[in-house]
Structure 1
Amino acid sequence: MTSTSAVRSMHGRFNRLLMRLLKIGIVGTLLLMLAAETFSSSADDRPPMVSWLSWVQVAVSLFVIGVYVWYRPGRKRWIAAAAVASLAMTGLDMVYDQGVRGVGTAELFALGLLMLFAVRHWDAPPGRWVAFATGTAVMLIGFRLFDEELESAAVGGTVLIFMTMTTVIGFGAYLRSMDKLRRETQEEVRQAERLELAREMHDFVAHHVTGMVVLAQAAQVTNTDPKKAFADIEEAGLAALTSMRRMVKMLRNDAEGAGTNPLGDLAQIEDLVERFSREGTDATCFISPELAGNTVAPEIAATAHRVVREALTNVRKHARGATRVRVVVAAASGNGLEVSVRDDGRAARGKLSDSGGGMGLLGLGERIEAVGGQLRAQARPEGGWETAAWLPRESAVPAE
């Protein structure tokens, strides 16, 4: 799992570096294009640099390129400023004809890139009119670039600009749809996580509160020292609070929770069994040494912890007269592990649903199947009940 995280981090850094180099290349090309357009000329024409208006156009082009360089999502107002500046510059060029070729090719390309952002962030403030203003600026910039005397060249250039802008708009709309799909997917993942956390919260509460109820009932029918009974109930309550804090830390992504799996792991199974044993039932736990370390994926360890927790909760609720519970987590064939919880109690009278049971095993089975495992819950021939699960050591669901 650690190597996978390292690969993801390296892949992310490589993508960021690639995008940065691509942006540097685009900006460098635009600046070279602007310089060549400003200082170059044909045999019959003067270079644009001889006109003061051309230097104003250069300044506007640099401003538009700068907006592209420093644009970030949420700064759409700068796109609006670039579009308005370009439109004003085109109007000024139409009023003051200096008799030289206008400057604006680099500005045209930069506006096209800003058009992509304006369409992609269509609903961002200050509004959708920014995309229309940018498109208008792109279409009207041809008055600066094309000689009015060459009508065919002007028409052809305008058509080319229109086709290019249409392509940019289409690509921007595609990116916008992908952003929307990504947000919807993230929301679905968050909803699934919230449902999973709700199930986990229910299991934590059911496990610990059931323990406190059992202790309180035992204190009423036995000659237990009241101080000891209250101390046991207090300890069970503190354990419940600890579990709740772990869950809250995960919800808040608190750095203090780092290093502890709030949903449980193999190391926490021993603590779970030990607390169960202190509540009046002889419970022992064995975890195979070869499962120590990082040989089991975190989600598999959390699932194993949940199997034990659900089984112990069911022992409290439904196993009448249970005196012994054995919990074993051992390596199994097929690069897997087996979690088993066996008791020597008798089944409760009546339907399981009458005492509030049944749904826990159903949810547990769904979770085990989701990671590629199998659940078995059945009565033992020699008496008692067995809850066992085979789990792979690595999740069957590939990491994204």
Structure 2
Amino acid sequence: MNAPRAAAGGRFNRLVMRLLKIGTVSGLLLVLLAEMSSHMVGEKPPYTSWVSWVQCATSLYAIGVYTWYRPGRKTWIAVAAVVSLAATGIDAVFDQGPRGVGTAELMALGLLLLFAVRHWDAAPGRWVAFALGAAILVIGVRLFVYDGSAVAGTVLIGMGISTVVGFGAYLRSMDKLRRETQEEVRRAERLELAREMHDFVAHHVTGMVVLAQAGQVAATDPLKSFADIEEAGLAALASMRRMVRMLRDDDAAGGVNPLGDLSQIEDLVDRFTREGTDASCFISPELAGAVAPEIAATAHRVVREALTNVRKHARGATRVRVVVAAAGGQGVEVSVRDDGRAARGRLGREALAASGGGLGLVGLRERVETVGGQLRAQPRPEGGWETAAWLPRAVPEVPVGTAGS
């Protein structure tokens, strides 16, 4: 599957979901129209009563809330529940005849109950789900007015409510599990950074010591030696500020892996080759010593994650090509390409790309963006998969006062 086909698949899925919603709303409107005009022999149609028009307006509001509902707008659902209860009360006080209007409203409120349970903790509170359940139950007062229909109708409504609540609770648990897993990824990245921070600092401090020792034995200008030491010290402080900021920021992504560098990328590829896949690696010689340690560590992480994904998701991959090359004067392009197929067709890596990536790519994307880079993971037009990142050669400076020390 090539990139245009993957994009077309994403558009097709969105189109299907939109058509499904349009079909649902159209069906509810047709049901509302039918129940406003249908009646038994010898009865007046509901549209002849003002009470039915109040209930019709309530149904239209419930359908509208379902149509335009977005997460975070649960207040609209609360209003729909209160309005429905009021409409049922009006029906009980001003008896319009044998049967009221409420079938379409009942189905719309059932769909809203799914949202209310899924977004259980959203404002204005959990009571919205209980109010909505009560509105659905008592709506039977309008509908089940014929002999023998009350008990059976109430049982069916109760079963429907149980099904909707169960499915909504399942979706809520899936949402919670995904959030917890993503947070665990971020926490693991921060813990890894905290454990290895002393190695990164030691790298900079060792450079300062070497400069100081060289200044003592070499016949160089002392001012030049001090300037070099100052530059190395400022770089160390900047790295420390960035790492401390990422550790202290609850919403920040994990930092970088200071133990990885460009030279270790070749070791990754060699180990991958020994595991049975033909992999080759090219690292541009001009990048030696020209890339900040944090950028080199991030490049190492990109290659490591990409090779892991090849092993997990690429079926029949026979060749893997890893390239770390200069991109312009101030950038680095890291790419990992393979010729494999998705492990489970459209449910494999193409689906990950359409949905924003798997959990491994979540942490990887955050690392890349933290140092000012960009990440993409997508099918290749000629077949296979590509994971690529553009990185700056130097990490953007952090103002001295932003992180504290």
Normalising by structure 1, we get a TM-score of 0.61
Partner of 2:120: 122
Partner of 1:211: 207
Question: Residue 165 of structure 1 is aligned with which of 156, 161, 168?
Answer: 161
Contact 1:120–1:172 (Cα < 8 Å) also in 2? yes
**Runs of at least 5 residues in structure 1 that lack an aligned partner in the other structure:** 252-261, 265-301, 309-327, 340-363, 373-390
Residue 164 of structure 1 aligns to which amino acid in structure 2?
Answer: G
Partner of 1:41: 39
Residue 89 of structure 1 aligns to which amino acid in structure 2?
Answer: A
Partner of 1:181: 177
1:335 pairs with 2:279: yes
CA distance in 2, matches of 1:75, 1:29: 24
Contact 2:66–2:108 (Cα < 8 Å) also in 1? yes
Aligned-pair identity in percent equals 64
RMSD between superposed Cα atoms in Å: 4.1
* Deviation readout 1:121-140 (Å, 9 max, x if unpaired): 11222222111111011011
SS of the residue corresponding to residue 335 of structure 1 reads: strand
Partner of 1:24: 22
Deviation at 1:248, TM superposition (A): 9.8
Deviation at 1:241, TM superposition (A): 6.8
Deviation at 1:38, TM superposition (A): 0.8
* Deviation readout 1:68-111 (Å, 9 max, x if unpaired): 11222222121111111101111110111111421110100010
Distance 1:368 1:29, change over 3 A: closer
Deviation at 1:15, TM superposition (A): 3.8
Deviation at 1:59, TM superposition (A): 0.5
1:97-246 superposed matches below 5 A:
97-147=95-145, 149-150=146-147, 152-198=148-194, 202-237=198-233, 240=236
Deviation at 1:237, TM superposition (A): 4.4
CA distance in 2, matches of 1:198, 1:123: 33
1:77 pairs with 2:21: no
Residue 131 of structure 2 aligns to which amino acid in structure 1?
Answer: A
Residue 224 of structure 2 aligns to which amino acid in structure 1?
Answer: K
Structure with higher Rg: it is 1
Contact 2:62–2:80 (Cα < 8 Å) also in 1? yes
Contact 1:64–1:111 (Cα < 8 Å) also in 2? yes
Residue 179 of structure 1 aligns to which amino acid in structure 2?
Answer: D
Partner of 2:382: none
Task: Please say which of residues 93-102 and 174-183 is displaced more in the overlay.
Answer: 93-102
1:267-278 superposed matches below 5 A:
none
SS of the residue corresponding to residue 178 of structure 1 reads: helix
Partner of 2:395: none
Distance 1:248 1:29, change over 3 A: farther
Distance 1:77 1:329, change over 3 A: closer
Contact 1:61–1:106 (Cα < 8 Å) also in 2? yes
Partner of 2:292: none
CA distance in 2, matches of 1:243, 1:211: 14
Question: Residue 96 of structure 1 is aligned with which of 94, 97, 122?
Answer: 94
Contact 2:58–2:87 (Cα < 8 Å) also in 1? yes
Residue 111 of structure 1 aligns to which amino acid in structure 2?
Answer: L
CA distance in 1, matches of 2:12, 2:240: 39
CA distance in 2, matches of 1:198, 1:330: 23
